[in-house]
Amino acid sequence: MRVHFVLIALLVMSSQAQEKIPVEIETPHGTVAWKELPRDKDGKIAKFLRELTPKELESLKSDAKQACPFVVRYAPNAKQAEHPLDEFDFAFAGWLASDDPNKESSDRVIRILGSAYGFYCIEHLGVRWAWIKDEFGEDIALVRENPTTRSFPFTSIRYRIEDTGLSSNSTLARKGSFRRSNSART
């Protein structure tokens, strides 16, 4: 288990060394912005490896259950949001702005919000959790086969934390990140 964590951490760090390409599109709901890592010359999408084990799924469910207390802690008025994903945005912004030395680590926030966002997507978009492999390594992602789709909620949140530098001056709530983001990295 520890070896897997170290390998995953090394893969994430090596993939972060690559220059991310900013992409924006306009939608009826506003601007959608994300960053993509460059694709291989052949442009192939990440390859499906395997379904998650029941233990892995249970771990993600456990992390996702922490989203409600996280929202209550960092965005107590978020229940008035017009969309459920806005609650995540407001809580994330509150977490960024918090100077509490006991606040959750970046890695913990990535797991909590990534899992909760992933289960929201599963419920509303017909995707599922799976292990995938691409030129950057192996990762847990949201997948669908028809049309072929790969989305990386954990990586997407990690990139947004990197973009803010944990600064309270830049909040995801202003961008509507969870509600209007494309978290695909390939």
Segment 80-89 long-range contacts (CB within 8 Å, at least 24 positions apart): 83/179, 84/120, 85/117, 85/120, 85/178, 85/179, 86/173, 86/176, 86/178, 86/179, 88/113, 88/116, 88/117, 88/178, 89/171, 89/172, 89/173, 89/175, 89/176, 89/177, 89/178, 89/179
Residues 40-96 have pLDDT tens digits of 555 566 788 899 999 999 999 999 999 999 999 999 886 677 788 889 999 999 999
Q: Rounded to whole angstroms, how far apart are CA atoms 153 and 181?
A: 10
User: Which of 28 and 50 is assigned the larger pLDDT?
Assistant: 50
Q: What is the pLDDT of residue 145?
A: 81
Angle at 16 between CA 13 and CA 17, to 5 degrees: 95
Question: Which amino acid makes up residue 135?
Answer: E
* All structural domains of the chain: 2-25+45-180 (1.20.120)
Q: Is the pLDDT of residue 33 over 50?
A: yes
What percentage of residues in the chain have a pLDDT greater than 70? 68
pLDDT bin (cut points 50, 70, 90) of residue 37 is: low
Cα separation values, 95 from 12, 32, 89, 154, Å? 23, 22, 10, 16
Q: Is pLDDT of 117 > 90?
A: yes
At 13, is the pLDDT very low, low, confident or very high (cuts 50, 70, 90)? very low
pLDDT at 96: 93
Q: What is the average pLDDT value for the chain, to the nearest integer?
A: 76
Cα distance from N-terminal residue to C-terminal residue, the chain: 26
Residue 81: per-residue pLDDT: 73
| Cα(130)–Cα(123) distance, integer angstroms | 15
Q: What is the pLDDT of residues 122-142, one digit of tens each?
A: 999 989 999 988 877 888 999
- My answer on whether omega of the bond before 147 falls inside 30° of 0, hence cis, is yes
Mean pLDDT throughout 162-181?
Answer: 48
Q: Which residue has the higher pLDDT, 57 or 28?
A: 57
User: Which H/E stretch holds residue 24?
Assistant: strand 21-27
Task: Average the pLDDT over 106-114 and give the result.
Answer: 96
- 34 band by pLDDT with thresholds 50, 70 and 90: low
